[in-house]
Chain A
Amino acid sequence: MAAIEMVNIVKQYGDGFPAVNDVSIDVEDGEFMILVGPSGCGKSTLLRMIVGLEDITSGDMVIGGKRVNDLAPRDRNLAMVFQNYALYPHLTVYENIAFPLRLKGGIPEAEIDAKVREASSTLELDEHLERKPGNLSGGQRQRVAMGRAIVRQADAFLFDEPLSNLDAKLRGQMRTEISRLQKKLGITTVYVTHDQTEAMTLGDRVAVLKRGELQQLATPRELYTQPVNLFVAGFIGSPPMNFMPATVKGNEVELPFGTFTLPAERAQRAQGKGLLIAGVRPEHFEDAKVVDSSVAGRGSTFRANVDVVEWLGNEAYAYIPFEAPDEVRTQLAQLEKDLDSEALRTQLVVSLDANSRIAKGEEAEIWMDASHLHLFDPATGENLTLGA
């Protein structure tokens, strides 16, 4: 058990490109920390610097109060689960799990056996102990890789996108398993993923990275409700937050669909800033016909042409195209690029109640809750309404 402190960590490759740039993260003892971001954001590089597979250009890596920058991986006493599991194909499951113990040397065979069997029963691998990894399914290999990690008294667990090779259903199950195991063992864990669902569900805290820079380090709830900038707002949440051009005058905000009244505090922070980008999550819209009367007063309605409707049973998504001025469009295009996605047009994604009868191609009345509207500076991407 140990806390991991990263202090101003920089990783520069030979060509001078900073893969990780001045990142400081404190992982508390026993905490489940998630590193998340689109591909190329430096999250895996950061993880590999913690474990010692990658040199640190500058900054301090402190594990359990000891600076480990110059220690070899084997001297850091960390356990890691690799993306493709990296099981030893020539060894049985039993020997794979026993491998770290045998390397230490001097551990009596009986003790190794007891530890391996304890790990295998925790992970329900008992009947597979004599098999080779080549004969196991993806989920079983994943468990063997975890067995190899938990069998030793490591100071921390490191996971490098451990679920990305599994199919969707298994991924959900293993996610719960990992969470349960971590709570049971109470061990410090750093988990790298590009999947924001994993980030939100597993993490005590989540660090969002973009192009090697730390954007925000917060609890999942805070990331969702108080994103510090356009990038975090767009990255966290599925379907993603809607962005549209906005101008604030007094307590009124002018959006492509009409004018809405903002809470005074939010409006005040955006005074005199000219053209802004407004962000509203899909669930803060509703079909005006089915919106609950107790919350209806918080927002107001507008009429819009619904392009496409996707009905999912428990809810429905409606897509409403709109035109954006060029200034906002370039900013949004850049954001899409940062997020690794490609939006072909500017459109609203609106989450509707499953009872909604809005059909595609219809003009419908949509209600919007303006009290959750975020306003972003189009130049810096900074969230102006943070904390309001």
Chain B
Amino acid sequence: MKQRMSPAHWAGFVVILVWCLLPVVWILMVSLKPVGETTTGSPQFFPKDWTVQNYKDIWDNHDFLRALGNSFGIAVIATLLAVVFATLAAYAIARLEFRGKRVVLSIALAIAMFPVVSLVGPLFDMWRVLHLFNTWPGLIIPYMSFTLPLAIWTLSAFFREIPWEMEQAAQVDGATSWQAFRKVIVPLAAPGVFTAAILTFFFAWNEFVLAISLTSTTAARTVPAQMSFFVGSDQFNPPYSQLAAAAVIVTVPVVVIVLLFQRKIVAGLTAGAVKG
């Protein structure tokens, strides 16, 4: 049933939009203020002098660019690996009957429940010994492990939805198990795969505790960690406007990726009923 939008609806929307977007707009405004204006305290919402100098400064900051590269590489690789492993594991869990299936699922869930902070110490020690400290793999491995459980649970739910007959039909048509999986099951589970990918990417992109603890230089430091090293003239006057500019730059890829994948998810959901 279609309902006409009443003024109350509109008012509700406006309240929610302001509630959600105000912090984002605030950051954007701060990033457009000159450094001097923010260090003296800048209670006004709009900048007195509009400037893009902060962005120029950030762009000239090699450490920041390195960190951006690290963030991107680490997040993408962790996402790819997590999705591949999660897809295979979830498929086995959804389709195969094997001993200890419940144990695997429970352990996966238990891992997801560990507070990240509690693992920082042990990981730091281990990575030093294994020479993984301050390297990409040193961050990729924990990011992957922390996101795998959720990805496995999401994906196995998707796989269970796909009728087994799809796969049997493919096998009768002449496909090997692997071909049936790759050409029929994975495309059908695409919405689930993208969901898992987004979750993993977000985690890796935004993560701070491990990023700051397991790195020491820009060889592997990611943006959230690098931003804590933005120190101005002295410790008590951080360059807020530059931090804001960096925050805006870091947010852009996330927004783009969400929009990109969201299309895919919707497309996957409407691609066609299995049976009707």
Please state if A89 and B168 are interface contacts (CB–CB under 8 Å).
no
Contact of B272 among A73, A84, A90 (CB under 8 A): A90
What secondary structure prevails in chain B residues at the interface with A?
helix
Q: Produce 1/0 per residue, A68-100, CB < 8 A to B.
A: 000011100111101111101110000000011
* CA–CA, A165 and B274, complex, Å: 14
Chain A residues at the B interface, C-beta cutoff of 8 Å: 51-53, 72-74, 77-80, 82-86, 88-90, 99-100, 103-104, 132-135, 138, 148, 152, 165
* CA–CA, A89 and B162, complex, Å: 11
Tell me the B68-104 residues at the A interface (CB within 8 Å): none
Q: Provided the pairs A89-B272, A90-B187, A134-B273 are in contact, do residues A103 and B169 lie with their beta carbons within 8 angstroms? A: no
Please state if B275 and A84 are interface contacts (CB–CB under 8 Å).
yes
Please state if B173 and A99 are interface contacts (CB–CB under 8 Å).
yes
User: Across the two chains, which residue of chain A brings its CB closest to B273?
Assistant: A134
Beyond A51-B172, A134-B272, 17 additional pairs, beta carbon < 8 A: A73-B168, A73-B172, A74-B175, A78-B172, A79-B173, A80-B172, A88-B170, A89-B271, A90-B187, A90-B190, A99-B173, A100-B173, A103-B174, A103-B179, A132-B272, A138-B276, A165-B275
Please state if B184 and A88 are interface contacts (CB–CB under 8 Å).
yes
Q: Is B213 part of the contact surface with A, judged by Cβ < 8 Å?
A: no
Q: Produce 1/0 per residue, B232-276, CB < 8 A to A.
A: 000000000000000000000000000000000000000111111
Give every chain B residue within 8 A of A84 (Cβ-Cβ): 163, 165, 274-275
Please state if A148 and B165 are interface contacts (CB–CB under 8 Å).
no
* CA–CA, A107 and B136, complex, Å: 44
* CA–CA, A148 and B274, complex, Å: 16
Tell me the B166-201 residues at the A interface (CB within 8 Å): 166, 168-176, 179, 183-184, 187-188, 190
Give every chain A residue within 8 A of B173 (Cβ-Cβ): 74, 79, 99-100, 103, 148, 152
* CA–CA, A132 and B173, complex, Å: 19
In the assembled complex, the CB of B170 is this many whole angstroms from the nearest CB of chain A, namely 8
Please state if B166 and A88 are interface contacts (CB–CB under 8 Å).
yes
Please state if A134 and B276 are interface contacts (CB–CB under 8 Å).
yes
Chain B residues at the A interface, C-beta cutoff of 8 Å: 163, 165-166, 168-176, 179, 183-184, 187-188, 190, 271-276
* CA–CA, A100 and B184, complex, Å: 12
Give every chain A residue within 8 A of B165 (Cβ-Cβ): 82-84, 86
Q: Provided the pairs A89-B272, A134-B271, A135-B272 are in contact, do residues A79 and B172 lie with their beta carbons within 8 angstroms? A: yes
Give every chain A residue within 8 A of B169 (Cβ-Cβ): 80, 82, 86, 88, 148
Give every chain A residue within 8 A of B183 (Cβ-Cβ): 99, 103
In the assembled complex, the CB of B34 is this many whole angstroms from the nearest CB of chain A, namely 53
* CA–CA, A74 and B170, complex, Å: 9
Please state if B273 and A89 are interface contacts (CB–CB under 8 Å).
yes
User: Across the two chains, which residue of chain B brings its CB closest to A78?
Assistant: B172
User: Across the two chains, which residue of chain A brings its CB closest to B186?
Assistant: A90
Give every chain A residue within 8 A of B188 (Cβ-Cβ): 88-90
In the assembled complex, the CB of A14 is this many whole angstroms from the nearest CB of chain B, namely 10
Give every chain A residue within 8 A of B276 (Cβ-Cβ): 134, 138
User: Across the two chains, which residue of chain B brings its CB closest to A103?
Assistant: B174
9 A-B pairs with least C-beta separation: A134-B272, A86-B169, A89-B272, A100-B173, A86-B165, A132-B272, A103-B174, A73-B171, A74-B174
Q: List 25 A-B contacts (CB under 8 A).
A: A73-B168, A74-B174, A77-B174, A80-B172, A82-B168, A82-B169, A84-B163, A84-B274, A86-B163, A86-B168, A86-B169, A88-B166, A88-B170, A89-B188, A89-B271, A89-B272, A89-B273, A90-B190, A100-B174, A103-B173, A103-B175, A104-B174, A135-B272, A138-B276, A148-B169
Please state if A53 and B272 are interface contacts (CB–CB under 8 Å).
no
Give every chain B residue within 8 A of A99 (Cβ-Cβ): 170, 173, 183
**Of A52, A80, A85, A88, which is in contact with the most chain B CB atoms at under 10 Å from its CB?**
A88
* CA–CA, A79 and B271, complex, Å: 26
* CA–CA, A138 and B276, complex, Å: 8
Give every chain B residue within 8 A of A133 (Cβ-Cβ): 272
Contact of A53 among B166, B171, B187, B274 (CB under 8 A): B171
Give every chain B residue within 8 A of A51 (Cβ-Cβ): 172
* CA–CA, A85 and B183, complex, Å: 17
Give every chain B residue within 8 A of A78 (Cβ-Cβ): 172
User: Across the two chains, which residue of chain B brings its CB closest to A160?
Assistant: B165
In the assembled complex, the CB of B177 is this many whole angstroms from the nearest CB of chain A, namely 9
**Of A74, A83, A99, which is in contact with the most chain B CB atoms at under 10 Å from its CB?**
A74
* CA–CA, A152 and B174, complex, Å: 10
User: Across the two chains, which residue of chain B brings its CB closest to A85?
Assistant: B275
Please state if B271 and A74 are interface contacts (CB–CB under 8 Å).
no
User: Across the two chains, which residue of chain B brings its CB closest to A75?
Assistant: B174
In the assembled complex, the CB of A73 is this many whole angstroms from the nearest CB of chain B, namely 4
Give every chain A residue within 8 A of B273 (Cβ-Cβ): 89, 134
Give every chain B residue within 8 A of A165 (Cβ-Cβ): 275
In the assembled complex, the CB of A64 is this many whole angstroms from the nearest CB of chain B, namely 16
* CA–CA, A269 and B179, complex, Å: 61
In the assembled complex, the CB of A231 is this many whole angstroms from the nearest CB of chain B, namely 30
Give every chain A residue within 8 A of B190 (Cβ-Cβ): 90
User: Across the two chains, which residue of chain B brings its CB closest to A135?
Assistant: B272
* CA–CA, A99 and B173, complex, Å: 7
* CA–CA, A138 and B273, complex, Å: 12
